[in-house]
Structure formats: C-alpha cells, structure tokens
Structure 1
Amino acid sequence: MEEPIFPTTWEIPTDYTIQKCRIGFKGGDFKVYDAYGYLVYRIQGRSFSTSPRRVATLLDAAGNALITSVHLVDGWQGFRGYSWEPNDLLFSAQKISYSTFKTELEICVSSENLGDQKQKFILKGSPFQRSCTIYLGDSIVAQANPLYKLKKFIYSRNKFRLTLYPGNDHALVLAMLITFFGGN
C-alpha cells in the first residue's frame, strides 16, 4: 500500500471567485466558483417595494437555501434557510464605523451551538472596492480582494476573489461577506 503524496491532515486555504450575474440598478445576484471553475454557491439578492428591507440568500449549487441575510432598521440578521424566525437566527451584524473608504462591521454569531460563548467577527474593508478582511480575535478568517490584471489600471467590481482559511464554515463566511457588501 502506497503512502499518499499529500498528508490528509494538511489544511490549505480555499479560493473562490465571486462574479456578479446581473449588471444594473436592481442586480444583486452573484455566482461563487471554486478554483477549478465549478459553481459552488449562488447569492440571490432581492428587495421589497412595500418595505425598505433588503434580503440576500446564499444558495448551494443545487438551489437549496443555506442562509438568508435580512436588512432591518438596526442592522442585518442571518437566518437558516429562507426562515426569518427568531429560533433560526444564526448571526446579527452592526456597523462599528463607516466612511466613504472604510467600513467596520461586527458580527455576533448566535450562541445556541456554542454554549455561553458568543463568537464576534470583525469585518474591515471597503465595500465599494470589494475588499474585506474577516477577523476572529487576532486571527484572519478570510480575505476578499478584487481581481487585478497586469497592465490594467481600471479593474471590475463585478468579479473578485475570496480566500478562506482552514477551519472555518464556508457558508457562514460567505453570508457574512454578503452582509458586508450588501449593507452599503
């Protein structure tokens, strides 16, 4: 029996490419591709004409709802699936600071699964430039950056990269990123 070339205990960062599908004022849909170009997730954005609520839902490749982020008066909240019920609450988000070039967001994960401990993530970056770093304490959880091309001074905001470091829930991090970019 041969030994594997790469140990199974190696944990390496995962790269995703996120691309906006519809371009325009009402466009809020994104597709998330893995490093091989396969569709992994979809992000479906919508707003309601009867209220100022904005909603973004993270779907898997098959179209099953994983997490729905809802913009409320006092911030964003993330729920399991398509639910908006309080018992399905996963996280809540509040802006710590906001300026034209830099935004800071604090996300508290629901403590139901974690005992009495609440995890607090801090997201720092620029939603306009599609750049963001997600922190949990002193460690970096993920980073989003625009895709730069050599010899090109202007880059597209419709396509960017997310590098997610090992040991983190991919769907939760993508939902936090939706909240960061959709909240402005």
Structure 2
Amino acid sequence: MEDSDGNILFNVKGVAFSVIHHRRILYDAAGTPIVTIQRKVKSAHDRWQVFRGDSKETSDLIFSVKRSSLFQLKLKLDVILANNTKEDFCDFKLIGGWLERSFAVYAGESSTAVAQMNKTHTGHAFFRKETKNVVVNPNIDYAFIIALIVTLDAIQSSAGTPVAG
C-alpha cells in the first residue's frame, strides 16, 4: 500500500496455509509486523480478530470485526475494541456496498465518518488494475483504517464473493 506520492507504507502477507487459517499480517515499510488479522474459527457472525504484531495471544487483541447481522444486502461490519468486553455497542462501523465500490468507517453508531474508501478499476480484462483510494480524517490512526481494509479484503476472500466491489 502506497501513499499519494508512491511511497510504500504497508505490505500485507498471508501466512503459509492462510487459506485454511485465514490469517494475514500487516507490515510497515521497514518490514516490522504491525498487526495479525485472523478469522475466529467458531463464530456465528463471521468474526475476525486483530492482534498486535504477529501475535495470536488474547492479551494482544486490539479489536475484532464482525458482520452486524447474518444476512445483509449492504455490507455492515461492527468493529469492537478489545476493552469493550460487554459488546453492548460497536466502537466503529464499516458500511459499504458491492455495487458502489465505496465504504465508510463511522465512529460508533453515529453518522460521523472517520474514513472513506473508494475502489476504481482501470484497464481491460486481463490487464485490469484495482486502486483503493482512502481518505482518513485528522486524529484517526491510519494504520487502524488500513487494518480494517485488510480485514474487509480477508472477509471477501473467505466468503468467495465480492465484498468490496
């Protein structure tokens, strides 16, 4: 993942047998693991967990992402921070659509978008290139937003259906 000047900011790698384990690691430009994203094995709402570094320890959990409901026409994901143990509310919500190719991250249940992502495609057939344009509001950790986008892509890959357009 690059910034607007083409500088590499992040790199995502799947772990060996990641198709089975549904695990991805997000690295910074220097190659240091920032977060590990892994699907929770037994989960009714397709829950994914995000851990600090390349850990899978419960004590290193940063946040989890799950579908707001089992059946959805428009994608809605709840983001729950690790310290929200009761899960009475979601800390952030990711809402988007397959057809619109755009997604927004909202603070809790509010209508305040803290980040937006749009996908564009250029080229034709076999030479098609996908670009994700991400705008992050001030005072929002952009690594957190990138981790959400990688989780969204992981959910898409595991479902075998297009989540992000």
Partner of 1:174: 146
More helix, by proportion: 2
- Classify the secondary structure of the residue corresponding to 1:176: helix
Alignment of 1:102-117 (within 5 A): 102-111=74-83
Alignment of 1:15-30 (within 5 A): none
CA deviation string 1:107-149 (max 9, x = no partner)? 101228xxxxx86110011368652111003311111101366
Q: Supply the RMSD in Å over aligned alpha carbons.
A: 2.9
Shift of 1:179: 1.1
The code of the aligned residue for 1:144 comes to M
**Following the alignment from structure 1 to structure 2, what is the Cα–Cα distance between the partners of residues 148 and 109?**
32
Contact 1:76–1:94 (Cα < 8 Å) also in 2 = yes
TM-score by length of 1: 0.68
Runs (4+) off by over 2 Å: 45-49, 126-131, 152-158
2:2 corresponding residue in structure 1: 33
Query: CA distance change for structure 1 residues 33 and 60 in 2, over 3 Å: closer, same or farther?
Result: same
CA spacing shift, 1:76–1:165, aligned 2, 3 Å: same
Which structure has the bigger radius of gyration? 1
Could you say if the C-alpha distance between residues 52 and 153 of structure 1 is closer, same or farther in structure 2, counting changes exceeding 3 Å? closer
Return closer, same or farther for 1:60/1:133 CA change in 2, 3 Å cut-off: same
Instruction: Check if 1:145 corresponds to 2:114.
Output: no
TM-score by length of 2: 0.75
The structure carrying a bigger strand percent of its residues is 1
SS in 1 for 2:150: helix
Mapping of residues 1-184 of structure 1, within 5 Å: 32-46=1-15, 48=17, 52-73=20-41, 74=43, 75-97=47-69, 98-99=71-72, 102-111=74-83, 120-126=91-97, 130-136=101-107, 137-147=110-120, 156=128, 158-184=130-156
Task: Point out where structure 2 has 5 or more consecutive residues left out of the alignment.
Answer: 157-165
Between the two structures, name the one with larger relative contact order (CA 8 Å, sep ≥ 6).
1
Offset of 1:102 from its aligned partner?
2.4
Distance 1:71 1:88 in 2: 15
